């Protein structure tokens, strides 16, 4: 376990790389025995600082929950990260490339909870009952590491590459559709760039919420009602640049679009 001074120094580096949109070297280069827990300790320190500046937590993200993402990034364990309220953009928003390094975009199913979820083994049924609605989402990720290359520990310290997110489409009750078989198509400038089924996320995207709740439980925490949870991309993330228009269509759930400027 790294000491408090090292955790603080890494939190400084992440915070400044994120706020100035500049790349940094992977932390595991300087700290080869840094652990996953150290990575999450950095996230805790970042949250403490951000909340101190008045930023608010909107929810949590699960990442690397599909085979496509694991293969793309060369990591085979899911990661969790924080979603801050000020990184939530409205549907149809123009997202400025300024403030981003080498962003990529992902189509995901978002869960918005109405009741607390807690415990090592919550069932899919409990998650469905505690969910107020599900909604199509786009996540814009932006690794602060050079060339978007990292390992699990480093990506955790960088808050799971979180940058921006957008909820759209129709908010639907989670039992109004079969969440395991939602067809998802993402288009960039009118051309299809990703096509998949929600099943690509752990067989059922609620399993990402299940993993998140049991991970929280292991850290003495719960998922509060009113949380937004991104369940992770079902396809590879797609690079975006100024001028790109993105739309993701979710079968039976509507669509969500953004434009990069
Ligand atoms: C890590 C974040 C992955 C997802 O949905 O799988 C993620 C990364 O690939 O940079 O958000
Ligand atoms: Mg994601």
Other CB atoms within 10 Å distance of the CB of residue 74: 10
**From ligand 1's centre to the CA of 164, what distance in Å?**
12
**From ligand 1's centre to the CA of 64, what distance in Å?**
5
pLDDT of residue 254: 98
Other CB atoms within 10 Å distance of the CB of residue 160: 26
**From ligand 1's centre to the CA of 190, what distance in Å?**
24
* Per-residue pLDDT band at 239 (split at 50, 70, 90): very high
Residue 24, token pair as written in the block: 């940094």
**From ligand 2's centre to the CA of 96, what distance in Å?**
19
Q: pLDDT tens for residues 6-59?
A: 999 999 999 999 999 999 999 999 999 999 999 999 999 999 999 999 999 999
Q: How high does pLDDT run on average in the chain?
A: 97
Q: pLDDT tens for residues 74-88?
A: 998 999 999 999 999
Ligand 1: residue of 14, 70, 103, 139 to mutate (most ligand atoms within 8 A of CB) is 139
CA separation for the pair 261, 8 (Å, rounded):
34
Q: Specify the pTM.
A: 0.97
CA–CA distances in Å: residue 246 to residues 42, 92, 120, 188, 239: 32, 9, 37, 5, 11
Within the chain, strands assigned E span 57-63, 79-84, 88-89, 94-95, 104-113, 131-141, 162-167, 183-188, 191-197, 228-230, 238-239, 245-250, 254-260
What's the rounded mean pLDDT across residues 255-261? Answer: 98
Q: Which amino acid residue places its CA nearest to atom 8 of ligand 1?
A: 161
pLDDT of residue 185: 98
* Per-residue pLDDT band at 115 (split at 50, 70, 90): very high
What's the rounded mean pLDDT across residues 119-124? Answer: 97
For ligand 1, residues with CB inside 6 Å are 61, 63-65, 69, 73, 106, 108, 139, 141, 143, 155, 160-161, 232-233, 237
CA–CA distances in Å: residue 228 to residues 18, 121, 166: 22, 20, 11
């Amino acid at each position: 376990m790294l000491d408090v001074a090292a955790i603080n120094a890494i939190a400084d580096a992440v915070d400044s790389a994120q706020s100035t949109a500049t790349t940094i070297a992977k932390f595991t280069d300087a700290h080869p025995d840094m652990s996953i827990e150290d990575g999450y300790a950095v996230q805790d320190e970042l949250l403490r600082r951000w909340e101190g500046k008045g930023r608010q937590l909107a929810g949590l993200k699960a990442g690397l929950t599909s085979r496509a993402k694991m293969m793309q990034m060369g990591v085979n364990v899911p990661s969790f990260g924080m979603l801050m309220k000020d990184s939530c953009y409205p549907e149809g928003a123009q997202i400025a490339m300024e403030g981003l390094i080498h962003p990529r975009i992902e189509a995901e199913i978002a869960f918005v909870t109405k009741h607390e979820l807690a415990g090592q083994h919550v069932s899919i049924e409990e998650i469905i009952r505690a969910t107020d609605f599900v909604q199509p989402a786009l996540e814009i990720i932006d690794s602060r590491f050079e060339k978007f290359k990292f390992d699990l520990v480093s990506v955790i310290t960088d808050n799971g590459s979180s940058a921006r997110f957008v909820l759209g489409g129709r908010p639907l009750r989670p039992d109004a559709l079969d969440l395991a078989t939602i067809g998802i198509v993402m288009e960039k400038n009118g051309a299809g760039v990703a096509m998949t089924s929600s099943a690509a996320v752990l067989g059922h995207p609620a399993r990402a919420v299940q993993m998140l709740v049991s991970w929280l439980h292991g850290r003495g925490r719960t998922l509060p009602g009113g949380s937004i949870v991104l369940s992770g991309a079902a396809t590879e993330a797609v690079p975006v640049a100024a001028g790109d228009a993105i739309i993701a269509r979710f079968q039976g759930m509507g669509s969500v679009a953004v434009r990069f400027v």
